[in-house]
Amino acid sequence: MNAQFADKVVLVTGAGGVLGRTTSLAFAQQGATVVVADVNQAGVDETVAQIQAQGGAASGVVVDVTDSESVKAMVDTAVSRHGGLHVAFNNAGILDGGTPVGHHDEDVWNRVISVNLTGVFLALKHETAHMAAHGGGAIVNTASNLGAHWRLAGMSAYSTSKAGVSFLTRTAALEYIRYGVRVNAISPGPIDTPMSYLQGESREQRDARIAPSVPLGRVADPQEVANAVLWLSSEKSSYVVGHDHVIDGGATA
């Protein structure tokens, strides 16, 4: 086992989904103790079980990232269980799509902004408070190439929320680097997860739809994105601060 994150406590939100689970497993494989957080208990349990089956260390916590007390409890639980918090991957998010602004349901808009943007804000609020008081750390937020880098009709709430994550990341990075907390973001393009499919779409149909818009010609494997998260969380990127790392196969080049 590569021990790059030995003795590190790593918190991952959205860890019951494909990218969160893949990244949680990758951290554990490199020696981290992973705190698996998600709104879905079954997803939490499955990710913890997979990590432990591979000989890794993990514990789970259910969190609602839109609720400040729930997010604070998540951070407090990570610290009390494992003695600290060194890395956080704020990855929880949801998708909307297909509706022009003039017809967008306001409840859907509010939900997407609340989970994708406010959820990252609340995670940063409580994570930075601990890290700044305990010697620093590394935080990676999941933005998207749909937002600050690229726009797509029908994706107003999602694109707005993810552009907000990009700019929130840069602001937090400037505010907290003085305390030794490095804050960065990833902005993936389409990843091989359920979120990359339209309703009723087959894999072949999905691939044919996406390929023309991605110079590399395919969706990303989740491990390719996880690799970037681990790099931004490691000492190998020690001089990288406030960076929004686009991982989209050249779609926004």
**Domains, the chain, ordered by start:** 9-247 (3.40.50.720)
Question: What pLDDT band is residue 240 in, cutting at 50, 70 and 90?
Answer: very high
For the cut 80, the answer to whether the pLDDT of residue 97 exceeds it is no
For the chain, the distance separating the N- and C-terminal CA atoms, rounded to the nearest angstrom, is 35
pTM for the full model? 0.96
Question: Tens digits of per-residue pLDDT, 52-85?
Answer: 999 999 999 999 999 999 999 999 999 999 999 9
For the cut 90, the answer to whether the pLDDT of residue 192 exceeds it is yes
Question: What pLDDT band is residue 88 in, cutting at 50, 70 and 90?
Answer: very high
Q: What's the mean per-residue pLDDT of the chain? A: 96
Lowest mean pLDDT among 98-112, 138-152, 228-242: 98-112
Question: What pLDDT band is residue 154 in, cutting at 50, 70 and 90?
Answer: confident
Lowest mean pLDDT among 23-32, 41-50, 79-88, 99-108: 99-108
Among all residues, which ones are annotated catalytic?
158
**Percent of the chain with pLDDT strictly greater than 90:** 93
Q: Can you give the pLDDT at residue 57?
A: 98
For the cut 90, the answer to whether the pLDDT of residue 182 exceeds it is yes
Average pLDDT over residues 28-51: 98
Q: Can you give the pLDDT at residue 179?
A: 98
Q: Can you give the pLDDT at residue 96?
A: 83
For the cut 70, the answer to whether the pLDDT of residue 199 exceeds it is yes
Question: What pLDDT band is residue 98 in, cutting at 50, 70 and 90?
Answer: confident
Q: Can you give the pLDDT at residue 1?
A: 55
For the cut 60, the answer to whether the pLDDT of residue 114 exceeds it is yes
Asked if 75 contacts 65 with a C-beta cutoff of 8 angstroms, the reply is no
Question: What pLDDT band is residue 5 in, cutting at 50, 70 and 90?
Answer: very high
